[in-house]
Structure 1
Amino acid sequence: MDGNNKYLMLLLWIQGGYFFITGVWPLVHIYSFMVVSGPKNDIWLVRTVGLLITSISLGLLTSAIMKKIEVSLMIIAFGSALSLLFVDLFYVFKNVIAETYLGDALVEFLFIISWLIIFWRSRK
């Protein structure tokens, strides 16, 4: 496995693990999730997003475990990080969600940069 594939595998593990933790957390203990992320009006929506993020994480982690990387999964990983970054920033600056989501925005930004580096290196 060359250096780029090792980096790719590491990214799948890190993003998959991060998405798993952040996706499952509101499902197993919504109250501690709200202590950190702020109060929520629509618990069903928080749980729906948690399930979607968990689903994405399972795809990323399965890919890492099987050491099988598909371009379509890479696009889902990149796109989900980009989507979450935009949601975090948009709704924090509209004062809809707590500023703690800026921490998640930073993590999502790092995932985006990492995927862009992988895409750029794979073109060579």
Structure 2
Amino acid sequence: MKKYKILPYIQLFYYLLTAVWPFVHLESFFAVTGPKVEVWLVKTVSLLLFPHILLIIYVAEIRHSPLIILAILSACVGLAGIDLYYYLKGVIRWVYMIDFVLELGFIIYWLLQVRAPSKS
């Protein structure tokens, strides 16, 4: 795991940016992602990313644990599924397909990590 730590840190930065952005500048977040009726829901989803950020740090720096990797993977699968479903329904903007592609990359990475033997 230590050899290929760049992708977890990309995901960490991306999730951190996604989590903090609506709290720092909601107007620019809406300018990119489209207007939202339920601001509380945007902020709730943002806050729900924080535990996954901590899990990514834990797995990348401390311990390679298949159970924790599966928890990270669940966030990736959930976000990718929501992105694809609501984009195809015409509810969200095309920018969410960028997130979908990134989440697919994270899914592939973490699936490979679950299959890899633990080094710690």
Give the whole-Å Cα distance in 2 for the aligned partners of 1:56 and 1:118.
16
Q: Residues 55-88 of structure 1, C-alpha deviation per residue, up to 9 Å, x if partnerless?
A: 31133124434x2232222111111101100000
| TM-score normalised by the chain length of structure 2 | 0.87
1:6 paired with 2:3, answer yes
Q: Any unmatched runs of 5+ in structure 2?
A: none
Matched AA of 1:53: L
1:76 paired with 2:71, answer yes
Alpha-carbon RMSD across the aligned residues, in angstroms, is 1.8
Matched AA of 1:15: Q
C-alpha contact 1:17 1:61 (8 A) present in aligned 2 = no
Counterpart of 2:20 in structure 1 is 24
Q: Which runs of 4+ in 1 moved over 6 A?
A: none
Give the whole-Å Cα distance in 1 for the aligned partners of 2:56 and 2:37.
30
Taking only the aligned residue pairs, the percentage that are identical comes to 36
| TM-score normalised by the chain length of structure 1 | 0.84
C-alpha contact 2:87 2:93 (8 A) present in aligned 1 = yes
Work out the number of aligned pairs and report it: 118
Indicate the SS of the match to 1:91.
helix
Shift of 1:46: 0.2
Give the whole-Å Cα distance in 2 for the aligned partners of 1:52 and 1:92.
21
Q: Any unmatched runs of 5+ in structure 1?
A: none
1:88 paired with 2:86, answer no
